[in-house]
Structure 1
């Protein structure tokens, strides 16, 4: 999970979900990438749930795309977000996304097709979604393939440049 370690990102929700997931299975690790004012509080929360071995706080990193390519699942458990670049990066990397239904996320992730969507602040559903993806490689890989295809159709650099040039052309034509 690459994110600013702030309340609005809902990382506490993810950590709570991971505490539940630990009781379901023990074959996973979670990388939390980023820094922010909630870091110490989140580290304490993870320690309180005995997740020191499973949850790694990696701090600020400049190699997010490389980390995504080493990952199996992307999580964005935010409380409010519109169209996060992190979700686009994860989709381009071919990862299924577990996201909340906050803001514009349901427009970016189709439940059961490119990822799984849980209600905002619902740690139990998030834990169940993570367990489902970890337990079913075929389903996880299918969602990842679908996410990559969707990303190419919506987030590719060529498409974004084409849309930007189109917007400029429309603006210039209206002068």
Structure 2
């Protein structure tokens, strides 16, 4: 007699090409179909091309909510989730936490898994002290409704304990597909770097990423490294945005137009990263950066700030260098060290891929989530497999 499959729903605000959504995409496409049936629920909107990357057997439901927390819409969503027979609903960060809790109140039998993918730097930055206090109260109040909270790094797990009052927490690292990201460059994605020493960075242009620090480091290096270029991959700076304007002004003021190149959004990242010599990540805050994992899997040594989960990936002097946050001189010095020693740079890149394959592979992450879902669905003790004490 066939065992009944476990139905797992994934609740996201948006479904667009970004870190959290790529994480969800990985689980949707890799869950064992003999044991699990995944469903995707999108509160707002999706990118059609990104949706096309989801396997055909995954039902996708769009609530198309406009703004705010529409309780009537959430009531309809909870009915949909109930009719789909969802046993486990996975929610992510603050962005879908309250929605998940409301659905749980409408549909008490469902089990909630909360995954913390970041340290909510931007959310905290924009909020008033009162709003931050209210959020903390709501987290502590409703976290007991969550069956288990998952941190994507040790720092994210500690954040859950400290800021959310979570008591049932486990660690499951983010992952990267090392067969997809392996540093190979196709003719279509090849860039003519023209003998330049190349640094790349990936990410949205938002304050938390602190690209200004990296641009300052490039300014410090442009005379030390005669042929130097930084390539930014992601949305181009928008003139109407304040932070974007600061970056554009800095580039113009210091005549860095030939040193900093914006490639815009790219769909060929797995075969694009192999064009570059070094990856840089100068964020103020990170959970466990997917871009960092992808670059390391592609054989690029990293220069990364010592924040969030970065030190759990980058071993200083082994597969890259860790630097203090917002210290452009330290960033510049680390990049220069990689420039000056090509043999060391190559050795670090090789080690980077080895470490990612061993500790951050897709197979390892997916199997851990599958084990977690199976334990929850069967009512077994999660601590029998996962360490919930640290």
Aligned mate of 2:317, from 104, 112, 122: 112
* 3-state SS of 1:124 partner: helix
Q: Tell me: higher relative CO, structure 1 or 2? Use CA pairs within 8 A at least 6 residues apart.
A: 1
Distance (whole Å) between structure 1 residues aligned to residue 378 and residue 350 of structure 2: 39
Higher helix share: 1
Distance (whole Å) between structure 2 residues aligned to residue 173 and residue 115 of structure 1: 42
Q: Does 1:4 align with 2:209?
A: no
* 3-state SS of 1:171 partner: helix
CA-to-aligned-CA distance 1:24-64 (integer Å, 9 cap, x gap): 11222110112254333212212222211111012222222
* 3-state SS of 2:232 partner: strand
Q: Does 1:68 align with 2:68?
A: no
Q: TM-score, normalised by structure 2?
A: 0.43
Give the aligned partner of residue 224 of structure 2.
24
Distance (whole Å) between structure 1 residues aligned to residue 271 and residue 206 of structure 2: 23
Q: CA RMSD in A?
A: 1.4
Larger gyration radius, structure 1 or structure 2: 2
* 3-state SS of 1:26 partner: coil
Higher strand share: 2
8 A Cα contact 1:33 1:58, kept in partner: yes
Instruction: Name structure 2 gaps, 5 residues minimum.
Output: 1-200, 381-390
Change (3 A) 1:96 1:81: same
Q: Once the 2 structures are TM-superposed, how far is the Cα of residue 173 of structure 1 from its aligned partner?
A: 3.8
Q: TM-score, normalised by structure 1?
A: 0.93
Instruction: Name structure 1 gaps, 5 residues minimum.
Output: none
Residue-pair matches, total: 175
